[in-house]
């Protein structure tokens, strides 16, 4: 079951309202899973809301007479690059009942290919079950990768983090400027730009799904050579994640998700990102031209 976030991230009172609405069905809740820097929207949960979520999980656990784990996935938390954002406070500091479990990863800050994640939480049946399951499945990083990661953490982490966050901050500011200037009023909501490397856009009346004119224009699959280019030389394409894949298919955000997309500024250089936003503006015009009753056939 999902709980929609607000413009400033998930609010504990919305989670509490969702639980209350379940009535006796709340007895079946197994765990609460929260991404502290959301993917796809890149919104950041504030410390006040994080503390409130810990209290909510503790209260629910006491009511049900068992631990209801609050899993805080902080994969992107080390990539908060906006200096105006408050420093995240670990939920473990407010945990008096052993309900908080924090998940982290080195893949976003050190080296993606190492594929090393970690979990921190209070010892007990739940943590021991996770450890046993990991051992049974052999689903841990090879020892050589662990040794490499250990050396990197001891010797280059601070310098690496400073360089990575500096680069993402530069890109975030530049891309936001292009989104504002090139897409303009085609965007009714823009989230992100403070952490990780995503912007999450809601477009004004333009659908973004795989079958939409906007998508087909950027994928160069419209069947129109003027838009796509020739079979020998396709025009440049833009890859994004349609919002239809980022919302629950039977939830309350299906209509909104059909007009949303996740745009990554993580890997391409600035010049290419500016070009990509320009192509997105062209795709908006193309999609709107097909909706216009005066469109040429």
282 and 217 Cβ atoms separated by less than 8 Å: yes
pLDDT (tens digit per residue) in 177-234 = 999 999 999 999 999 999 999 999 999 999 999 999 999 999 999 999 999 999 889 9
> DSSP letter at 259?
T
- Is residue 62 within 8 Å of residue 68, measured between CB atoms? no
- What are 250-271's pLDDT values in tens digits? 888 999 999 999 999 998 999 9
SS3 101: strand
Q: Walk along the chain (297 residues) and give the pLDDT tens digit of each residue.
A: 889 899 889 999 999 999 999 999 999 999 999 999 999 999 999 999 999 999 999 999 999 999 999 999 999 999 999 999 999 999 999 999 999 999 999 888 887 777 788 899 999 888 999 889 888 887 777 888 888 889 989 999 999 999 999 999 999 999 999 999 999 999 999 999 999 999 999 999 999 999 999 999 999 999 999 999 998 899 999 999 999 999 989 888 999 999 999 999 998 999 999 999 999 999 999 999 997 654 443
Last residue of a domain, one of 114, 131, 155: 155
Number of domains in the chain: 2
Phi, psi of 72 (to 5 degrees): -105, 105
3-state class (DSSP) for residue 90: coil
Q: Tell me if 7 is assigned to some domain.
A: no
Q: Is there a single domain that holds both residue 46 and residue 150?
A: yes
Please list, in sequence order, all residues whose beta carbon lies within 8 angstroms of the beta carbon of residue 204, skipping any fewer than 6 positions away. Answer: 185, 186, 187, 188, 259
CATH number of the CATH domain containing 226: 3.90.1150.10
Q: What is d(CA 22, CA 15) in angstroms, rounded to the nearest whole number?
A: 11
Where in the sequence is the domain holding 206, given as residue range(s)? 160-291
Q: How far apart are CA 64 and CA 56, in angstroms?
A: 12
State the Cα–Cα distance between residues 226 and 235, nearest whole angstrom: 9
Cα separation, 193 vs 201, whole angstroms: 11
Strands of the sheet with 70-73, listed across from one edge: 32-35, 70-73, 100-105, 117-121
Is 17 inside any structural domain? yes
Last residue of a domain, one of 137, 155, 173: 155
- As a whole number of angstroms, the distance between CA 213 and CA 196 comes to 29
Instruction: Look up the CATH number of the domain holding residue 105.
Output: 3.40.640.10
Look at residue 297 in the predicted model and tell me its pLDDT.
34
| End-of-domain residue from the set 123, 155, 187 | 155
pLDDT at residue 86, as a whole number:
94
Classify residue 55: in a domain, yes or no: yes
The answer as to whether 103 is a domain residue is yes
Q: Is residue 261 part of a domain?
A: yes
148, part of any domain: yes
Per-residue confidence (pLDDT) for residue 293, from 0 to 100: 53
């Amino acid at each position: 079951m999902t709980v929609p976030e607000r413009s400033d991230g998930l609010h504990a009172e919305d989670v509490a309202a969702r639980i209350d609405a379940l009535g006796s069905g709340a007895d079946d809740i197994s765990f609460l899973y929260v991404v502290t820097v959301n993917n796809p929207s890149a919104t950041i949960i504030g410390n006040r809301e994080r503390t409130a979520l810990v209290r909510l999980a503790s209260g629910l656990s006491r009511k049900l007479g068992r631990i209801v784990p609050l899993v805080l996935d902080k994969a992107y938390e080390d990539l908060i690059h906006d200096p105006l954002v408050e420093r995240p406070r670990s939920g473990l500091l407010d945990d008096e009942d052993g309900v908080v479990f924090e998940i982290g990863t080195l893949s976003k800050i050190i080296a993606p290919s190492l594929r090393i994640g970690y979990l921190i939480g209070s010892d007990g049946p739940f943590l021991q079950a996770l450890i046993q399951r990991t051992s049974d499945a052999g689903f841990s990083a090879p020892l050589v990768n662990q040794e490499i990661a250990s050396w990197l953490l001891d010797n280059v982490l601070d310098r690496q983090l400073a360089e990575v966050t500096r680069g993402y901050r530069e890109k975030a500011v530049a891309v936001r400027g292009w989104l504002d200037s090139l897409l303009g009023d085609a965007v009714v909501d823009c989230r992100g730009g403070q952490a990780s490397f995503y912007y999450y856009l809601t477009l004004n009346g333009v659908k973004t799904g795989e079958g939409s004119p906007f998508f087909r224009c950027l994928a160069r699959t419209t069947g129109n050579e003027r838009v796509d280019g020739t079979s020998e030389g396709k025009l440049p394409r833009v890859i994004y994640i349609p919002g239809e894949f980022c919302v629950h298919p039977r939830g309350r955000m299906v209509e909104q998700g059909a007009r949303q997309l996740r745009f990554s500024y993580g890997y391409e250089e600035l010049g290419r990102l500016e070009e990509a936003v320009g192509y997105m503006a062209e795709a908006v015009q193309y999609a709107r031209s097909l909706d216009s009753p005066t469109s040429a056939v």
